[in-house]
Amino acid sequence: MKISVTILMLMVSVSSIGQSLEAIEARKIVFPNVTGYHTIICDLHQHTVFSDGAVWPSVRVMEAQRDGLDAIAVTEHLEYQPHKDDIPHPDRNRAFEIESSMVQAEELIVIPGSEITRSMPPGHANAIFIKDANKLLSDDYMEVYAEAKKQGAFIFWNHPDWTDQAPDGIARLTEIHRDLIDQQMLHGIEVVNMYTFSEEALSICLQENLTILGTSDVHGLIDWEYPVWFGGHRPVTLVFAEKRSMSSIKDALFAGRTAVWFNNTLIGRVEHLKPLLEASVKVTNVAYAGNTNVLEVSFSNVSDANFTMKNTSSYSLQRNSNIFELPAHTETTIRIKTITRLEGALNWKLEVLNTVVKPQTPATIELNLAIP
C-alpha cells in the first residue's frame, strides 16, 4: 500500500514535470537563420536591483534562458540608483559580473552595458560593449558619451517616445542628437521599448542610417510584464550576425543588420526582413486539386510569427478572404481559383501585414510558383 502510494505520487510528479518542460519549450523565441547570417535573439535593455529593477541579476539570466535568447545586455541606470541605501555597490560592473559569471557564452552571451540617464535632450541611452561602467560616471553627459565611445561602445537612444520625456509620444531628433550622430556617439534607436512602437523613431532610423532596436526594458519579471503563458513574448532585437559571438553581434549592430520582434510584428529594413521572411515561410507544395482549376499552395512557417498575409493578385481564394493567416510552426494550404489551369509558373505577390519596413508600409513577398 505504502509503495503503491509512493509510485502514484512519483507518476503524478513526473507527469507534471513533463508538462512544465513542454511549456518551457513552447515559450522559447524561435526564428530561423537567414542566408549568410545567424539570427541572434537579443534583449539589450534590462534592469535589476542594481538600479531600479525588482530582481537580483541572476533572474535575468534564468529568464533569458527560458525564453531561448542568445544574448542579453546588462544596462543599469548610471544616475538613478533608488536601492543604493540597501545595495550600495561602488563597483558599477557588479550586475554584469554576476550575470556573466553564471553562464558560458555557448549558453547565453552577456553583454556589459549601462543606461546613461538624463533629461531630454538627449534623454536616456544605452552604451553596450563597454569595458568599465565606473568610468562613465560624470556630471557632463558629453563626457559620458565620449568615454563610452572611447571604450568602443555601441550607443542607442532609449524610448524616444516615452511620454515622461515626450508628452505627445512623438520621437523627435534634436540638435543634440544630431551632434551625437555626427560625432559617432549615437548608433541606433529603440523603435520599440516595452509596450510602445514609434513610427517616428523608425523614420529617424531610416533617414539617419541608424540601427533599429527593440527591447523589453524589463524592471519586474518578464512573466508579469508580458503574457508569455498566452502566446505572448517580450520585445527582442533579431541581430543578423556572421557568428554567434559577442564580437559578431557588435559588428552586426554597427552595420545595422537587425529586425525587431514586437507583439507578433516584425519591424525592420526591407533588406533585412525579406531574407527573414524567406527563411521563415517556405512553399512546400504547389498542385491543382484533382481535376479542378483550383490551385493548392502549401506553406510551412518555421518561425514564431503568426503571419497575416494579404493576397494582392486578381484571383480570389477558395477558403479565405484576401487576408489569411499562416500560423507559427504550422503547415497551411491556401486554394487559389485561377479560372483556367495555368501552365509554367504563377507569380504571386503577398503583403505580410504584420511587418513594417517603413511607416505605414508592410513587407511584400513575391512567390514564383512553378506549376507541375
* Chain positions contacting Zn ion, by CB under 5 A: 115, 124, 158, 217
For residue 336, CA distances in Å to 84, 123, 156, 292, 295 come to 63, 51, 45, 11, 5
Rounded-to-integer distance, Cα 46 and Cα 183, Å? 26
Residue with smallest beta-carbon separation from Zn ion: 124
Q: Which is nearer to Zn ion, 157 or 299 (CB)?
A: 157
Q: How far is the CB of 222 from Zn ion (least distance, A)?
A: 14
Q: How far is the CB of 362 from Zn ion (least distance, A)?
A: 29
Looking at the DSSP bridge assignments, the partners of residue 309 are: 324, 352
Q: Which is nearer to Zn ion, 99 or 115 (CB)?
A: 115
Q: Which is nearer to Zn ion, 130 or 297 (CB)?
A: 130
Residues 222, 153 contacting (CB under 8 angstroms): no
Half-sphere exposure of residue 251, counting CA atoms within 13 Å on the CB side? 11
Residues 218, 234 contacting (CB under 8 angstroms): yes
Q: How far is the CB of 159 from Zn ion (least distance, A)?
A: 6
Q: How far is the CB of 198 from Zn ion (least distance, A)?
A: 14
Q: How far is the CB of 99 from Zn ion (least distance, A)?
A: 16
Q: Which is nearer to Zn ion, 158 or 301 (CB)?
A: 158
Residue with cell 489569411: 324
Q: Which is nearer to Zn ion, 158 or 303 (CB)?
A: 158
Q: How far is the CB of 65 from Zn ion (least distance, A)?
A: 21
SS3 241: strand
Q: Which is nearer to Zn ion, 43 or 217 (CB)?
A: 217
**C-alpha torsion sign, points 276, 279, 71, 307:** positive
Q: Helix/strand/coil (H, E, C) string of 107-142?
A: CCEEEEEEEEECCCCCCEEEEECCCCHHHHCCCCHH
Cell of 238: 533579431
Residues 320, 336 contacting (CB under 8 angstroms): no
Q: Which is nearer to Zn ion, 172 or 244 (CB)?
A: 172
Looking at the DSSP bridge assignments, the partners of residue 298 are: 285, 333
Q: Which is nearer to Zn ion, 49 or 350 (CB)?
A: 49
Q: How far is the CB of 156 from Zn ion (least distance, A)?
A: 11
User: Residue 26: which H helix or E strand, with range?
Assistant: helix 2-26
Q: How far is the CB of 124 from Zn ion (least distance, A)?
A: 3
Q: Kindly report the CA angle at 221 between 216 and 222, in degrees rounded to 5?
A: 45
